[in-house]
Amino acid sequence: MYCSNSLCIFLFFRYPARRHMSAQKFDILGIGENTADTILQVAQFPSLGSKVETLNAQIMLGGQVATTVIACQRWGLRTHYVGCVGDDHFAELHRRELRRERVTFHLSRAPKALSQMSFIFVEAQSGERTVVWRRDPRLTIPSSFLRRGWVNSARLLYIDGHDPLTTRKAASWARSENIPVVADFDHWSSQLAKLLPLVDYPVTSRDLPTAATGERDLLKALPLLKRTYGCRAVCATLGIDGALAWDGHRFWYSPSYKVRVADTTGAGDLFHAGFSYGILKGWELQRILDFACAAAGLNCQALGARGGISELQKIERLQQKGQRNRAAFP
């Protein structure tokens, strides 16, 4: 059902030459979520009505798009982040972190609102986490806040599904300039149906393709999703089962890597960072999936969404010498 060798023709990932090449200031523009995570490591998940002592408690920054952009910055890409924060202390923490990471950023501020926050319970033995989150409805990026020049100055646009009206505007600008769009979509909604035709590479949760198409078999849902919305390729992340993609001709599959898991928080964010990095490098799809799985696995070895962002050499070493978990697709 899939091909695991690297014979895919590079033309699949080529896209027409950009106009105004001198205007490219950034490799990737990320528009979307940031969050302040309170990580609570526990021996076991609390049952209803119980009291559980935490083994470790830390406030760490995360968020789908912000984390992906920071990972790409550490890997040597030129990055630009656009998001929304409240007017609280966490907003300043985000600004400080982005400055420290040398990410160019523009943050819209929601007056009298708390920045997005999450409380994440991490089971010490397995590293699996349960997330309780809060996003104030006022934490939206107004479409008027966007500047077309921000989009035009990037080689790739990376978005999530939190502000579909605003990201649809950005994606339409990107499409008009032949700038590829990569998206991180977790949950299906009618708004995403309007955004997907403007997305070249949707990288989704395991369940979204089936929710979007009504087809319960993922091996049928992915081709149907691509055919319906005209994407270049569609990919589903499968947790410990790795990642599966369909390019219109064949399936591509990468099992996850065996690592010592401390916390699975941010694994998906690092997969998306690796996927976007590979698109920008012009890699074929199998290499992209392998790299993204390795980056995601290494991030699980430390607490927090960004705790295990690894250097390129370490990721490549895991690809070369690391062991894989059992393949979910034979």
Distance of CA 60 to the CA centre of its chain: 18
Q: How many CB atoms lie within 10 A of CB 224?
A: 18
Tens of pLDDT, residue by residue over 115-129, are 999 999 999 999 999
For domain 19-32+64-112+138-321, give its CATH number from 3.40.1190.20, 3.40.50.720, 3.20.20.60, 3.40.630.30.
Answer: 3.40.1190.20
pLDDT recorded at residue 329 = 85
86: three-class secondary structure by DSSP? coil
Instruction: Please give the pLDDT value at position 46.
Output: 86
Per-residue pLDDT, 24:
73
Residue 166: which H helix or E strand, with range? helix 164-176
Cα-Cα-Cα-Cα dihedral sign, residues 134, 140, 141, 145 = negative
Quick one: which of 122, 150, 43, 165 has its CA closest to 307?
122
pTM greater than 0.85: yes
3-class DSSP state for residue 36? Answer: strand
- What pLDDT, on a 0 to 100 scale, did the predictor assign at position 47? 87
* Positions in the chain whose pLDDT score sits under 70: 1-23, 330
The whole-angstrom separation of Cα 110 and Cα 163 is 14
Edge-to-edge strand ranges of the sheet holding 54-62: 54-62, 35-42, 117-123, 129-134
Instruction: List, as one string, the DSSP characters of 110-147.
Output: -TT-PPPEEEEEEETTT--EEEEEE--TT----GGG--
Q: Give me the pLDDT at residue 23, please.
A: 63
d(CA 33, CA 304): 16
Can you read off the two tokens belonging to residue 230? 């005209």
Give burial (CB, 10 Å; 0-12/13-18/19+) of 264.
buried
DSSP 239-289: GGG-EEEE-SS-EEEEPPBP---S--TTHHHHHHHHHHHHHHHT--HHHHH
